[in-house]
Chains A and B, each alone.
Chain A
Amino acid sequence: MARPAQVSPEVPAAQALSAPAAAPAAGVGGWFDDRAPVSGFAKKALRKAFPDHWSFLLGEVALYSFIILLLTGVFLTVWFKPSMAEVEYAGTYQLLHGVPMSEAFASTLAISFDIRGGLLVRQIHHWAAMLFVASMTVHMLRVFFTGAFRKPREVNWLIGVGLLSMGLVEGFAGYSLPDDLLSGTGLRFVDGLVRSIPIIGTWAEFFIFNGEFPGDLVIPRLYMVHILLVPGLLLGLISAHMALLVYHKHTHFPGPGRKDTNVVGGPLFPVYVAKAGGFFFIVFGVTILMGALMQINPVWLFGPYNPAQVTAGSQPDWYMGFVEGAIRIIPNWETHLLGTTWSWNIFLPGVGLMGLLFTGLGLYPFIEQWITGDTAEHHVLDRPRNVPTRTALGVAGMTCYAMFWLSGGNDILATQFGVSLNDVTQVMRVAVFVAPVIAFIVTKRLCLSLQRKDRERVLHGSESGILVRTPDGGYTEAHVPLEQEEAFILTQHHQPAALEPSVGTDARGVRRRGKRVGGLRVRLSQWYADGAIAKPTAADIADAGHHGEAADAVETTPPAGELSGAASSGKGEGH
C-alpha cells in the first residue's frame, strides 16, 4: 500500500492520461474542467427544472435575509466591542454624556452616531433578522400545508425545524448584545428562566453568567454564540437543506403534466438564475430601504442597562412573543418542597412551551405517516383543502401560537382597547385552549365545503351567467364544462382511506407477519380521514357530461362536452 510508486521517465504516464482530452477546453472554465468534473456537473445542473410559484419564494427570502445578515454582520463586528467593562460615555450623543455604561452599549452608540453608515447597517441587520425568522416561519407553514414534508423530505423538514429553533436563539443572542435597558431586561428574563430549571437551575445560571446576574461575561459569551457558534450551525444546516433540495428536486403544485415522477419548471440557466438572483437583490434592496426609512431598536432612547429600571410596554422581538405571552398568562404555580422551590410558573411556559413546539413540529411528519400508513414518495403538493385534517391541525396550531403571541401584549391590548388587564389575561388563559379547537372545527368544515365545491365544478362545470327559461316557465342556469386542465387539477389528488384493523391471523388461522395495525392507530386514522368528500369518478363525470349536454343545449361557445369526451375516451389515451 505504502510502497512508493516507481515512475520511470521513459513512460509518459502523465501524457497518456491527458491525451484523451482531445478538445482542450478554453478559458478559466476549461482550466477548472481539466481538474474537476465541472462539465459533468454543469450539463445536468444548468438545465435543472425549478417550478414557479410565489409561495416557493418564501424560503428564498429566508436564505437571502441570512446572507444579508452575514454581510451586514461583518460590518458591525468591525466596530462593536463585546465588553461589559464600565466606561463613561463621551461620544456625540449629548443626552447620555458622562453616563456610565458598558463598552458594548457605548460602541453601539458609536455605530449609531459616529460611524458613517453605521446606523443604516445596524438597522438593516435588525430588520433582516426580523425578516429571517418571519420568512422561515411562513416558509414552514407553506411546507406544512402543502404536505411538502412527506417522504422523501422528512429529513429536510427536521433540518428546517432545527434552522427555525437556531434562528430564535441567534436572534435573541443578537438583540441582547447592545446592553441597553431593553436587552438587559430580556437577559434578566432569561436569568429567571434558567434559574427555574429544576435541580440544575442555579448551576446553569452561575455557569452562563459567570456567577450572579448580570456578571461580567454574558455579553462576550453571547457575542461568541451570535457571531460564531450559531451562524456556523445555521450555515451547516442551510447547506444540508439546500443539498437535499437539489437532490430531491423541487416539489410542484398539481397541474397538467405535473406528476410524482417528474418536475416541470423553468431551467436553472438562465431563467431561474435571473429570477432568483434578481430576487436576492430585491430582498436586499427592500431591507436597505427599511433600514433607511423605518427606525428600529433606537437603543439611545432606552439608555444603558440598569437592573433597577424598566420601561412599561417592554417587549421582546416578535418571534419571542409567544414565550413572553405564555409567561404572562400562566397561573402562579410554584411548589415548595423540603427546602427547594420548583417554579412551574416559569419553567412550563418558558422551557416547556418551546420544547413542546419544536418537538411537535419535528415529530409531525412521522405521526402523520403512522396515522395514514402512507409510505409512498410524494412530489406533487397537496392542495390544503384535500387534506382537511392536516390543514385544520395546522390552523389550530397557528391559532394557539397566535393566542400566546397576543398574550405577550396583554398590557398593550388592555390600554389600546381600554379594557381590564386582568380580564384580558383571564380570557387569554381560556383562549389558548378553546380558540384552537374552534379553529380546527371551522377549518375542517371549510376544507370539506371547498371539496364539495370542487366536485360540483367538475361535475357541472362553471356558472355561465346565462339564464334559460324552459317552455313550462322554469329557469335554469347554463353551465360551461371545465377545461380539461382545471378538471384534472381538481381530481388528481389521492384520497387515502382509513386504515383497516388488521387481523392477527389470516383465513387459515396462521399468524400474519409484519406489524399489526392497532386499535388506537385505526381510530386515529378514521378520525384523520373522516368526512372526506369523494372526488368524482370517471363514470360520474361521464354521466354528468351527458346530462349536461342535454340541459345546456343553449350554450355554444366552448365546445360542449370537451371534458366528458376526454374522460370517456380516456381509455384509448396513453400517456
Chain B
Amino acid sequence: MKQDLERYPVPDPGVPHEVERFTDVDEAAGRRAYAQVVGLLALVPVLAIAFVVVYFAVPIDAQFVLFGALFKAHPVLLGLTGGLAVLLVGVAAIHWARTIMGDEEVVEERHPAGSAPEARAAAAEAWKVGVAQTGLGRRKLIGSGIAGGLGILVVPALVLFADLGPWPTAALRKETVEKTIWAEGVRIVNDVNFKPLRAADLEVGQLVNAQPINLQELEGVALQQAKAKASLIVVRMDPASIRVPESRQDWHVNGILAYSKICTHVGCPISLWEQQTHHLLCPCHQSTFDLGNSGLVVFGPAARSLPQLPITTDAEGFLIARSDFTVPVGPSFFERDSSRDFKEGDR
C-alpha cells in the first residue's frame, strides 16, 4: 500500500458514474434527437436520386459562374449530391450514437501481451520434439542442403530480372547518355516552328529555345529521349561584356553562344534568363549558371558548368553545330568522366 501511495499520490477514484445526457432525461429532447436522425437519413435517398438525375440530365460540358469563378456543372453537382448523401449517413449514425444509444462505458481487463510461461515451455517442447523427428541431429547435411538450396534459388530469381533494361556498358553509354543527336553541320532550329536560326537575325540580349533540325525525323520514345539531351539555349550577348576562354574562341558566332538547356543537377530544362547579368536560372532547384562565363555555376545545388555547344555558321548564314557536345549533358552518373567539364580558371 505504501508503494502504491508513492506511485499514485492521489488514489484512483475509479471509473466515474455516467452523467445522464439531456436526451436521457428530457422526453422532448429524446424525441427531437430521434426526429433529427430520421430526418437526416430521409434526405439521403433524395440526394441519391438527385445524383442520378444530374448524371443523366446535366450535359458533361455545362458550366456556370458563381462568385466570379467558373465551375464545371457536371462534376460539381454530382459531387455535391453524392458527397452530401454520403456525409449525411455518417452524421446521422454519429448523432444516433451520441444522443440515443446508451453511453455506458465498458471496462475490459488486459492481459500481458506476451505468451504465458507455460505456453512458452510447451512451444519449446513441441519444437524440440519436432526437431528430434527431423533426424537432423544425426544427418546434418540435409539441413545445410536445404539452406544452401534455398539460398542458391535466389540467384535464378534475381537473374530473371537481368533484362529489365539494356545494360549500360561503356559501349552503350557512348551511344546513349554520352551522346546527343548534335553533330557537325546540324542546323540549329527554333524549337517551336523548327525554322533554322540565322545569326544575323539574333539581337543582343535575345534568348532562343532551340533544337537540332534532325529532331524532326524522330517520333515517340526516340524523340523524347533525344529531346531530353539535345535541347539548346541560344543567346546573343555583347562580345565585349562576356568572357570567352582561349579554348572556346571559335565556339561562338559574334557573341552568339549555345548551351545545353538540360540542368547539370537533376536534368530540368533551364530557361529563366536574366538578360543583364547573363545568368540562367533553373526553375526546379534554382541552380544558376553564368552564360557570359562558359556556363559556370554561380549559385545553387548544381556542381558542374552547363555544357556549351561549339557553333558556327554555314554558307547561308544559318547557325550550325561544329560537333556534338564535348561532355555528356544532363545530370551526373557514376561512370561520367567529369574531368573535362569547364571549371573556374580554365582557359
Give the residue name and chain of the A residue nearest to B71 (CB).
A293
Complex interface residues of chain A between 288 and 343 (CB less than 8 A to chain B): 288-289, 291-293, 305-314, 327-334, 336, 339-343
Distance in angstroms from A204 CB to nearest chain B CB is 9
B213 at the interface (CB under 8 A from A): no
Distance in angstroms from A429 CB to nearest chain B CB is 11
A335 CA to B330 CA in the complex, in Å?
Answer: 16
Which residues on A sit within 8 Å (CB–CB) of B74? Answer: 116-117, 119-120
Per-residue interface assignment for chain B, residues 209 to 221, with 1 indicating a CB less than 8 Å from any chain A CB and 0 otherwise: 1010000000111
B1 at the interface (CB under 8 A from A): yes
Find A262's partner among B6, B103, B107, B262 (CB 8 Å cutoff): B107
Per-residue interface assignment for chain B, residues 316 to 347, with 1 indicating a CB less than 8 Å from any chain A CB and 0 otherwise: 00000000000000111111111100000000
Q: Quick one: given A85-B220, A263-B108, are A271 and B11 in contact (CB under 8 Å)? A: no
Stretch at the interface among B128-136, B143-151, B159-167: B159-167
Q: Contact between A567 and B55 (Cβ–Cβ < 8 Å)?
A: no
Distance in angstroms from A265 CB to nearest chain B CB is 6
A281 CA to B84 CA in the complex, in Å?
Answer: 10
Distance in angstroms from A115 CB to nearest chain B CB is 8
Per-residue interface assignment for chain A, residues 269 to 300, with 1 indicating a CB less than 8 Å from any chain B CB and 0 otherwise: 01100110111111111111101110000000
Stretch at the interface among A18-26, A189-197, A231-239: A189-197
Find A188's partner among B1, B102, B268, B335 (CB 8 Å cutoff): B268
Q: Contact between B332 and A196 (Cβ–Cβ < 8 Å)?
A: yes
Q: Contact between B231 and A307 (Cβ–Cβ < 8 Å)?
A: yes
Distance in angstroms from B281 CB to nearest chain A CB is 8
Stretch at the interface among B91-99, B117-125, B237-245: B91-99
Which residues on B sit within 8 Å (CB–CB) of A331? Answer: 301
Q: Contact between B331 and A196 (Cβ–Cβ < 8 Å)?
A: yes
Q: Contact between A334 and B283 (Cβ–Cβ < 8 Å)?
A: no
Which residues on A sit within 8 Å (CB–CB) of B284? Answer: 185, 189, 310, 314
Task: Indicate the member of B79, B92, B336 with the most A CB atoms within 10 Å.
Answer: B79
Stretch at the interface among A169-177, A384-392, A437-445, A480-488: A480-488
Complex interface residues of chain B between 1 and 56 (CB less than 8 A to chain A): 1, 5-16, 55
Give the residue name and chain of the B residue nearest to A115 (CB).
B60
Which residues on B sit within 8 Å (CB–CB) of A490? Answer: 10
Which residues on B sit within 8 Å (CB–CB) of A575? Answer: 11-12, 14
Distance in angstroms from A304 CB to nearest chain B CB is 10
A214 CA to B14 CA in the complex, in Å?
Answer: 65
Q: Contact between A488 and B11 (Cβ–Cβ < 8 Å)?
A: yes
Which residues on B sit within 8 Å (CB–CB) of A256? Answer: 12-16
A59 at the interface (CB under 8 A from B): no
Q: Contact between A47 and B12 (Cβ–Cβ < 8 Å)?
A: no
Which residues on B sit within 8 Å (CB–CB) of A262? Answer: 107-110
A570 CA to B9 CA in the complex, in Å?
Answer: 9
Which residues on B sit within 8 Å (CB–CB) of A201? Answer: 333-334
Find A206's partner among B7, B168, B191 (CB 8 Å cutoff): B168
Which residues on A sit within 8 Å (CB–CB) of B107? Answer: 49, 257, 262-264
Give the residue name and chain of the B residue nearest to A188 (CB).
B267
B236 at the interface (CB under 8 A from A): no
Q: Contact between A49 and B106 (Cβ–Cβ < 8 Å)?
A: yes
Which residues on A sit within 8 Å (CB–CB) of B6? Answer: 537-538
A298 CA to B120 CA in the complex, in Å?
Answer: 58
A207 CA to B165 CA in the complex, in Å?
Answer: 4
Give the residue name and chain of the B residue nearest to A87 (CB).
B220
Q: Quick one: given A212-B176, A332-B297, are A185 and B268 in contact (CB under 8 Å)? A: yes
Which residues on A sit within 8 Å (CB–CB) of B112? Answer: 377
Q: Contact between B332 and A278 (Cβ–Cβ < 8 Å)?
A: no
Q: Quick one: given A211-B166, A491-B10, are A379 and B110 in contact (CB under 8 Å)? A: yes
Q: Quick one: given A270-B101, A281-B89, are A203 and B12 in contact (CB under 8 Å)? A: no
A346 at the interface (CB under 8 A from B): yes
Which residues on A sit within 8 Å (CB–CB) of B336? Answer: 340-341
Stretch at the interface among B197-205, B222-230, B250-258: B222-230
Distance in angstroms from A322 CB to nearest chain B CB is 14
Q: Contact between B227 and A306 (Cβ–Cβ < 8 Å)?
A: yes
Q: Contact between A277 and B93 (Cβ–Cβ < 8 Å)?
A: yes
A267 CA to B108 CA in the complex, in Å?
Answer: 10
Q: Quick one: given A193-B266, A327-B285, A336-B339, are A308 and B55 in contact (CB under 8 Å)? A: no
Q: Contact between B75 and A327 (Cβ–Cβ < 8 Å)?
A: no
Q: Contact between A288 and B14 (Cβ–Cβ < 8 Å)?
A: no
Q: A264-B106, A285-B83 are in contact. List 11 more A-B contacts (CB 8 A).
A: A120-B79, A192-B266, A257-B14, A278-B97, A281-B91, A288-B79, A288-B83, A289-B80, A346-B301, A377-B112, A411-B286
B residues bordering A, Cβ < 8 Å? 1, 5-16, 55, 60-61, 72, 74-80, 82-94, 96-98, 101-103, 105-110, 112-114, 161, 164-168, 173, 176-177, 191, 209, 211, 219-221, 223-225, 227-228, 231, 261-262, 265-269, 271-272, 283-287, 297, 299-304, 330-339
Closest 6 CB pairs of A and B: A292-B79, A285-B87, A192-B266, A281-B90, A278-B93, A257-B15
